[in-house]
Amino acid sequence: MHAMILTARGKPLSFQERADPVPGRGEVRIKVSACGVCRTDLHVVDGELPDIPYPIVPGHEIVGRVDALGEDVKDLVPGMRVGVPWLGYTCGECLYCRIGKENLCDRAKFTGYTRDGGFASHLVADARYCFPLGEDGDDASIAPLLCAGLIGWRSLVMAGEDKALGIYGFGAAGHIVAQLARKQGRAVYAFTRAGDRDAQQLALSLGVDWAGASEDRPPIELDAAIIYAPVGALVPIALRAVRKGGRVVCAGIHMSDIPAFPYDSLWGERQIMSVANLTRRDGTDFLAAAAKAGIRTHTTVFPLTEANEALARLREGKLVGAAVLRP
């Protein structure tokens, strides 16, 4: 197999050949056909997440085919197309697993962060955390659904069911969630970097009601806002944009510090919430909803060997929609 490997914090990924991995009990080996490039991959590469076990293969928006089975795998078969998400393992024993909140598992493992991911030709995954995908749709178009879509879905659910929704950071997750929200009959207001006309045009092409810069006030008070950009300064801005009783959902795994803001911005029973990871139930619910809604992703495809270029363009805000790697 071959992979793009992170050997130390802040280093470019290096292309390496490795022996083919062997699946253990309850695991499968997957031949990767496409892997999305997520902002969380950027946080891994830049060392912004703790306890990274170098060397590590990033990537957790994976579409591929089951290539080999470990012992005791019953529900997957060779040749089956599956998706592998960020959540790669949970213990099933801690308090959170027992109360149905496996996304908060104390001993969770994460694809492309604490276990090797999909910036590679092959990977080994826990069979319990692989989603059968069927045969409809293109691999590269599906890949962003495995994190941008899943975390987007969880954040949309947490935002509540009210009608006026703001989306701050209109990238991979934002352009998927906007489509879901529009299908649900919501009004969507898209916020982008100042001057990012490409992202605003993408938003408008997807039917949002308004698109502007993150610093702009929307034309109406929002019922809820979701922040996908890892920018803490957007939290008080979003709070000032939502009505009394409204919610601001922070959907990233990492965010810069939130600056001080007057209590008046929070008063009126406004809420700030965070999204942490996902559950397998999120996966099955979202993939069914995405298929029903006819979600279409806007992607730019790179060969695997250009993973560093894809990450650089994401870091610089030069991508519209999502980037996807093909081995």
pLDDT tens column, 169-196: 999 999 999 999 999 999 999 999 999 9
Same domain, yes or no: 188 and 78 = no
> The tokens of 31 are what?
């031949």
pLDDT digits 0-9 by tens, 21-52: 999 999 999 999 999 999 999 999 999 999 99
Three-class secondary structure assignment of the chain: CEEEEECCCCCCCEEEECCCCCCCCCEEEEEEEEEEECHHHHHHHCCCCCCCCCCECCCCEEEEEEEEECCCCCCCCCCCEEEECCEEECCCCCHHHHCCCHHHCCCCEEECCCECCCCECEEEEEHHHCEECCCCCCHHHHHHHHCHHHHHHHHHHHCCCCCEEEEECCCHHHHHHHHHHHHCCCEEEEEECCCCHHHHHHHHHCCCCEEEECCCCCCCCEEEEEECCCCCCHHHHHHHHEEEEEEEEECCCCCCCCCCCCHHHHCCCCEEEECCCCCHHHHHHHHHHHHHHCCCCCEEEEEHHHHHHHHHHHHCCCCCCEEEEEC
- Quickly state the pLDDT bin for 17 (edges 50, 70, 90): very high
Alpha carbons 173 and 180: distance in angstroms, whole number: 11
Q: Report yes or no: 251 and 74 within 8 Å, Cβ to Cβ.
A: no
Q: b/e for 222-253, b at 16 or more Cβ within 10 A? A: bbbbbbbbbbeebbbbbbbbbeeebbbbbbbb
- Segment 311-320 mean pLDDT: 94
Question: pLDDT at position 130, please?
Answer: 98
> The tokens of 27 are what?
């695991």
State how many domains the chain has.
2
Domain region containing 266? 149-274
Could you tell me which of 279, 320, 297 has the C-alpha nearest to residue 169? Answer: 320
- Parallel, antiparallel, or unpaired: how do β-strands 14-17 and 2-5 relate? antiparallel
- Segment 116-139 mean pLDDT: 97
Alpha carbons 63 and 141: distance in angstroms, whole number: 10
Same domain, yes or no: 207 and 245 = yes
User: Does residue 141 form part of some domain?
Assistant: no
Same domain, yes or no: 232 and 118 = no
User: Does residue 289 form part of some domain?
Assistant: no
User: Does residue 291 form part of some domain?
Assistant: no
Q: Report yes or no: 36 and 324 within 8 Å, Cβ to Cβ.
A: yes
| 251-to-9, 24, 155 alpha-carbon distances in Å | 24, 33, 6
Give the CATH number, domain containing residue 30.
3.90.180.10
pLDDT digits 0-9 by tens, 284-303: 999 999 999 999 999 999 99
Question: pLDDT at position 163, please?
Answer: 95
Same domain, yes or no: 153 and 259 = yes
Same domain, yes or no: 123 and 200 = no
User: Does residue 290 form part of some domain?
Assistant: no
- Segment 140-158 mean pLDDT: 97
Same domain, yes or no: 253 and 304 = no
- Segment 117-140 mean pLDDT: 97
pLDDT digits 0-9 by tens, 241-274: 999 999 999 999 999 999 999 999 999 999 999 9
User: Does residue 142 form part of some domain?
Assistant: no
Same domain, yes or no: 117 and 7 = yes
pLDDT digits 0-9 by tens, 56-97: 999 999 999 999 999 999 999 999 999 999 999 999 999 999
